[in-house]
Amino acid sequence: MDGILLVDKPYGITSNDLTIKIRKKINQKVGHTGTLDYAATGLMILTVGKATRLTEYFQGLDKEYVAIGELGKITDTYDKEGKVLEERKCNISKDELISIIKSFEGTYPQYPPQFSSKRVKGKRAYQFAKKGIEVKLKPKIITIYKIDILNIDLPFFEIKVHCSSGTYIRTLVKEIGDKTGCGAYLYSLRRTRINGFSVDEAVSFEKLLDMSTQDIEKLLIPVEKAIRFLPKIYLDDGFDKRFLHGQRFRVPYEKSGLVQVFDKEGRFLGIGRVNKEKILKPEKVFL
């Protein structure tokens, strides 16, 4: 049983607990390619069996979220799971709010929330935050490619965000609130897309637990189709064996960076990296 599984995570379970339950259900190695908060729902990509070796290649993919924020309240976690620290009156027009929201499109450094899983001194940041200890977190350069305004019914606003990996939507909503002067927190969050994978393709976690192992296996996207976001190259006879033995060699392709590698019959061999000199280096080999 090898491949990736698209799961629609429900509200009220951690990504790790979801992964563990599925691992026990199918009695296979299972990894997840990026966490969703306890209170968030939506798409998770799980790697199963041999595909767990591919986990790292999914972790840096762009994401899409649908989020609802509420103006006028500030919480310690930046979402509704937290304690309300302050409430403010908010007098802002829809046009002003739209302009502020759209101003966050672009690339800039973003600080993670104090209640996050970022590691500080060997512990998770939220472990300090729960004790009331504020720690210094390093910002990460993130990109908000596009924000679509789906609905505004003040004090609530609903947005769809296409962003780079590592973006905290909780922080984005909090920053929007800061810029309005009203404050804001994340009321709900749903991940709808990871690169070319959509939550519409996913199976619900509840349904998955009721399925047989055989039926779950039918849902797996095979390893050779799972990394469809990487370009493909095909190797002639002899070169396929050299690749499988970890050798480097020149290839007649203009592509550079990570690539999927196949033999001339279309059999998936693994993942390699092509440098500027067109030298292919094997990274992950699948025998």
Q: Which residues are catalytic?
A: 37
For the chain, report the end-to-end CA distance as a whole number of angstroms: 15
Between CA 184 and CA 198 the distance in angstroms is 28
The alpha helices in 27-93, defined as continuous H runs, are 55-58
CA atoms within 13 A on the CB side of 125: 16
Give how far Cα 186 sits from Cα of 14, 70, 81, 197, 264, Å. Answer: 17, 7, 9, 24, 50
User: 217, 227, 221: which is closest to 269 by C-alpha?
Assistant: 227
Give the whole-angstrom CA distance, residue 259 versus residue 274: 7
Q: What are phi and psi of 187, to 5 degrees?
A: -85, -40
φ/ψ (deg, to 5) at 91: -115, 95
